[in-house]
Structure 1
């Protein structure tokens, strides 16, 4: 089943198209338009299949959209690798929304937002503080 879902993810990734507003991604139940500054990467050899879009905001801060299978317990993963973790879980349309704040081993703050369906997740990650408008853009596009 994991292979089939991975194949579907890869096909959806290949079907992504550019529009004048940005990059259109059809992976979740909803279509997302990502910034045209984003560059896609896929690692199908990895144990955990995912498609990552690396992007830059208007302040040149790097942030990442990670589309992945929903087969990892992020909370446990963060608690294992972080000194402080706060997790807020809520329901957003048909998605479960996880908002995590943590500090890594270097005591740097990490902000992590994850929109999950039963099969897939979209993680929004940055080592630095990305602009709030990025998360607002995702929220406004997900109708689920």
Structure 2
């Protein structure tokens, strides 16, 4: 069984989370510059067996696509072109950034640490992935 990888793609940064090989636990992997995300994934897919990739689908409260949706569609086009055989699934990413920030507070991170936007993106991807795993069971 391969890992499941989740991507929280943004204009500047992309948070990435991944499961263990048994697809039980979601863990934050890293945050990369969005322009380097495809290169990072190319390297990662060579090192690790990934079965599926989840990409966050930003929506507004009314369910319509958010302003960042066209940016993510461009990334998905590049992703599918580079990795045509990789299984891809879109997942709702509403509230993940707010949940990530609250998780940082709850875990006792200092204010300075909570200002690390890269960490927020990585935690957001982890929350997205953990939610997916919970629904899958």
TM-score normalised according to structure 2 size: 0.25
More helix by share: 2
Work out which structure has the larger RCO, using CA pairs closer than 8 Å and 6 or more positions apart in sequence: 2
TM-score normalised according to structure 1 size: 0.24
More strand by share: 1
